[in-house]
Amino acid sequence: MWIGVLCGLLAGALWGMVFVVPELLGAFSPLEMAVGRYVAYGAFAFGLLLPRLKLLLSTLAPGDYAALLRHALAGNIVYYMLLAVGVKYAGVAPTSLIIGMLPVLVTLLGRNDHGAAPLRRLALPLLLVAAGIACINIDTFAHAGPGASLAAIGLGVLAATGALLCWGWYALDNARYLKRNPQFSSAQWSALYGLATGVIALLIGLLAWGAGAAWRPAPSRDWLLFWGCNIVVALGASMIGNQLWNVASRRVPVTLSGQLILFETLFALLYGFVYRGMGPRPLELAAIALLVAGVTWSVRAHADDPPASILSPEAHEAELAEGDGMPGAAHRHQA
- Split at pLDDT 50, 70, 90, the class of 178 is confident
pLDDT at 213 (0 to 100): 55
User: Across all residues in the chain, what is the average pLDDT?
Assistant: 79
Find the mean pLDDT for residues 293-317. 55
> Is residue 36 within 8 Å of 226, Cβ to Cβ?
yes
Domain boundaries, the chain: 2-325
**DSSP assignment of 29-97:** -HHHHHHHHHHHHHHHHHHHHGGGHHHHHHT--HHHHHHHHHHHIIIIIHHHHHHHHHHHHH-HHHHHH
pLDDT at residue number 276:
80
pLDDT at residue 133 is higher than 90? no
Give the lowest-confidence range in 94-108, 133-147, 275-289, 296-310.
Answer: 296-310
Cα separation, 268 vs 48, whole angstroms: 28
Q: Are 168 and 106 in contact (CB under 8 A)?
A: yes
Q: Which of 84, 17, 31 has the alpha carbon at shortest distance from 228?
A: 17
pLDDT cut 90: percent of the chain above it? 23
What is the value of pTM for the model shown? Answer: 0.76
Q: In the predicted model, is pLDDT for residue 161 greater than 70?
A: yes
